[in-house]
Structure 1
Amino acid sequence: MRLNSYVYFGIAAICFSLIGAALYMQLALDMLPCPLCVLQRYAFIGIGLFALIAGLFNGIRRPATALALVSALGGAGVAGKHLYVLANPATSCGIDPLETGLNKIFLADLLPSVFRADGLCDTPYAPILGLSIPGWTMVWYCMMAIVLLVLLLQKNRPVSIFSDAR
């Protein structure tokens, strides 16, 4: 197995763990997700699925990596908007067409605890280690985007953990 496969599996594991953390905050701590939170969940799931595909199938590794990178950049954009809303509460997304549209997607009906937007974007939850939840998602999106960009731009050399490093 190529060394890069472990990196892709690590990215997927981080993304799915972050979705698990989001579900814990929602279900155990009663922190309802807003429309921007749900969009960030979609981005993490996209990154995780495309990274998993890239790790499993060498033939489509580059397109899957590119799609994971696009998901990370899209998630960073949504997290940036969420941080802007938190800094300027007068611009809350509240109950708007975005929430209505997101809640009409079939996944919101299939898995409402994961994909249903019921919260408000400007709800000031307590920071975790000094950063807000969208601040932490921005950190993760940026780190993943950098790693995915490096993976995308590197030459396609067959490297294994069992080969000689020269």
Structure 2
Amino acid sequence: MTTRGFFLVGFALPALALAFAYYLEYALGLEPCPLCMFQRVAMAGVAVFCLIGLLHGPGPVGHRVYAVLATLSALAGAAIAARHVWLLHLPADQVPACGPGLDYLVDVMPLTEVLATILRGDASCATVEGAFLGVSLPAWTLLCFLGLSLWTLAGVFGLGTRRGHHD
């Protein structure tokens, strides 16, 4: 597979996942929780780094740089999704209480505290709003991030792409 082919796949998969997330939100009315929003940012990160690699068509070093950046985005997304899945499986009495909305947090707290607060999650993140085949949407998202991590990590090591070839 060529560098551009590799990055095309790396762009298409998260783009489809984001399109599906927006379909769920705007067509079906599923409101995303703060952790879902952060997962979208990580998914967009994978897509953007792969899109840049697709458009640039770099040589071997550039290929690895874009693949590393996409891998870091995918791993960050996997960590957030894993946290989300963990929250879903907490007993009801251990779920953090609902906190203020993201807009309010951004207005009154420094960014680092906003991130820490959101990543702790709350009751809005601990309810299953949707599932497919009995698996929650955050669990599907985690699986998607793990697959993207493996795909982009393969690109870091040049697996499945023609070495030294760029379009």
After TM superposition, the score normalised by the length of structure 1 is 0.76
Structure 2: how far apart are the matches of 1:20 and 1:100?
A: 27
State the match for 2:137 in structure 1. 133
Q: In structure 2, the residue corresponding to 1:30 is in which secondary structure?
A: coil
Shift of 1:48: 0.2
Structure 2: how far apart are the matches of 1:31 and 1:22?
A: 9
State the identity as a percent: 28
Structure 2: how far apart are the matches of 1:149 and 1:16?
A: 18
Shift of 1:64: 1.6
Amino acid aligned to 2:74: A
Aligned residues: 146
Residue 71 of structure 1, aligned match among 60, 64, 73: 73
Structure 1: how far apart are the matches of 2:85 and 2:98?
A: 14
Give the direction of change, closer, same or farther, for the CA distance of 1:93–1:55 in structure 2 (3 Å limit).
Answer: farther
Q: Is the 8 Å Cα contact of residues 86 and 122 (structure 1) preserved in structure 2?
A: yes
Root-mean-square deviation (CA), in Å?
2.7
**Structure 2: 5+ residue stretches without partners:** 109-122
Q: Is the 8 Å Cα contact of residues 35 and 99 (structure 1) preserved in structure 2?
A: no
Give the direction of change, closer, same or farther, for the CA distance of 1:141–1:135 in structure 2 (3 Å limit).
Answer: same
Match runs of 1:6-155 below 5 Å: 6-57=5-56, 58-59=58-59, 60-88=62-90, 89=92, 90-92=94-96, 94-96=98-100, 100-101=104-105, 120-154=124-158
1:158 and 2:164 aligned: yes
Amino acid aligned to 1:157: R
**Structure 1: 5+ residue stretches without partners:** 105-118, 162-166
Amino acid aligned to 2:23: Y
